[in-house]
Amino acid sequence: MHAQYIQPNEEEQKDLARILLSSFASDGEDVTFQWLKRCGVENLRVLRTQEHVLGGLVRYNMGQFFGGQSVPNVGLGGVCISPEARGKGYATQLMTRALQEFYEEGYALSTLYGSSQRLYRGVGYDLSGHAFSIDMPLQMLTQLKASEEVLQAAKETHIRRGTRDDVPALKALHAQYAPKHNGHLDRCESIWLRILRREEKLQEFVFLEENGQTTGALTYQVCSAPHKRHDYVKVRDFIALTPVAHVGLMKFLAGFRTMADRLVRYGGPTDPFITHIAEYLGSQSQIIKAQGDDYWMMRVVNVKQALETRGYQEGIEVSIPMHIDDPIIAENTGDWRLDIKAGRGHMHKLSTPTEESLSLSIEALAPLYTGFQSAHQLKQTGLLRGPDKSISRATLAFSGPPPSLPDDF
């Protein structure tokens, strides 16, 4: 049955809150409704028939960094269909309509944490980066891998507590840090609210000052662990622009070990809380705990814009012809040539494929784009076809730091 995809009115927002409550763990209908209000009605969508609201979603209009550049992205959260309407294709209809809207609005990418990989892969998303839950003993932060010079300089840094007036400075520091990490967000205000506010209170955050310059910051929360003697520290944001800032902030967190015994945060395989540890207490599997949302999914919404907006490594000069198939957004389907020079890409539509063309689906383009999988790996699993020369070029073009995403939404 065909349904309307619309921005909800007040009553429809209440219906969406009830559906969310029946789909995800929540503190109650009123709390869920207030969360939707904070997100802003302009960022809510519902799917409905004449009789009922069937489901909906929350969108975050943001950017995501790849190759040092912010690429326009719609993050999705709270995607839900009411229990009585499931199994009838409404979730696919909801996502299809959303993707068409994102394309029309000029967005290049869409990112989400997928509770159902089959649903999202069916509309062109695929696993595209890491979001490991890092759970480690605070005791480990007393022995860090760094030079004596850095360790000594870290002792001379100054930690300053942040206040409400310091939020713009925190955002400015993040704007310097995030572009260096593939997959990190160019955050919208709704994402910042999730990080900085908990139960209507400003989250604790501190700045690290090094020789009079602010070179680091972190946002944290001391949490109680049910049925356990000790609390734990949850790090929501870790920003360090220098080696000294990395060590200084970790030493600050180590100071909590008399009250808390563990640190928890989200990150990727090269997170500083993994790479700076001098010695593991036990096996690495005890440090990185891959829980339910250990990967995120991405979809290329606009092929031309996505490949032209992201950055590429300086010094690479290649041309990569490719045939892309997108059953939902017809404008993406066809033969293209990506020319990369001086760290930028330019896409040209071709009338016919060439002998050197790669062939891949819009779904397979996502992990290639982020660097989560190389072209060689995609070929081995049958998700990409093409001559070895073009596959090597594509592997080189999209190589970079492992894509990670420490933010939840």
pLDDT at 286: 55
pLDDT at 244: 96
pLDDT at 327: 97
Q: Give CA separation, 271 vs 112, 274, 402, in Å.
A: 20, 5, 10
| Third-level CATH fold of 4-129 | Aminopeptidase (3.40.630)
User: Could you report the per-residue pLDDT of 45-55, keeping only the tens digit for each?
Assistant: 999 998 999 99
User: Could you report the per-residue pLDDT of 251-270, keeping only the tens digit for each?
Assistant: 999 999 988 888 888 888 88
Task: Provide mean pLDDT across the span 146-165.
Answer: 93
Q: Is the pLDDT of residue 202 over 80?
A: no
Q: Is the pLDDT of residue 199 over 60?
A: no
pLDDT at 293: 56
Share of the chain above pLDDT 90, in %: 70
Query: Is residue 409 a contact partner of residue 114, using CB atoms and an 8 Å limit?
Result: no
Task: Provide mean pLDDT across the span 281-287.
Answer: 55
Q: CA-based angle 146:147:153, to the nearest 5?
A: 95
Task: Provide mean pLDDT across the span 291-299.
Answer: 79
Q: Give CA separation, 324 vs 304, 311, 321, 359, 361, in Å.
A: 11, 20, 10, 6, 5
pLDDT at 399: 93
User: Could you report the per-residue pLDDT of 370-381, keeping only the tens digit for each?
Assistant: 999 999 999 999
User: Could you report the per-residue pLDDT of 77-132, keeping only the tens digit for each?
Assistant: 999 999 999 999 999 999 999 999 999 999 999 999 988 889 999 999 999 999 88
Task: Provide mean pLDDT across the span 216-244.
Answer: 87
Q: Is the pLDDT of residue 344 over 70?
A: yes
Rounded to whole angstroms, how far apart are CA atoms 253 and 220?
9
Q: Is the pLDDT of residue 395 over 90?
A: yes
pLDDT at 108: 98
Long-range contacts (CB closer than 8 Å, 24 or more residues apart) made by 149-152: 150/243, 150/244, 150/247, 151/247
At residue 376, what are phi and psi to the nearest 5 degrees? -60, -45
Half-sphere exposure in the Cβ direction for 201 (13 Å, CA): 6
User: Could you report the per-residue pLDDT of 4-61, keeping only the tens digit for each?
Assistant: 999 999 999 999 989 988 887 666 667 787 888 888 999 999 999 989 999 999 999 9
Rounded to whole angstroms, how far apart are CA atoms 293 and 285?
17
Residue 179 is encoded by which pair of tokens? Answer: 């572009």
With cut-offs at 50, 70 and 90, classify the pLDDT of residue 324.
very high
CATH 3.40.630.30 domain residues, the chain: 4-129, 132-292
* CATH assignment of 132-292, among 3.30.70.20, 3.40.630.30, 3.30.70.1400, 2.102.10.10: 3.40.630.30
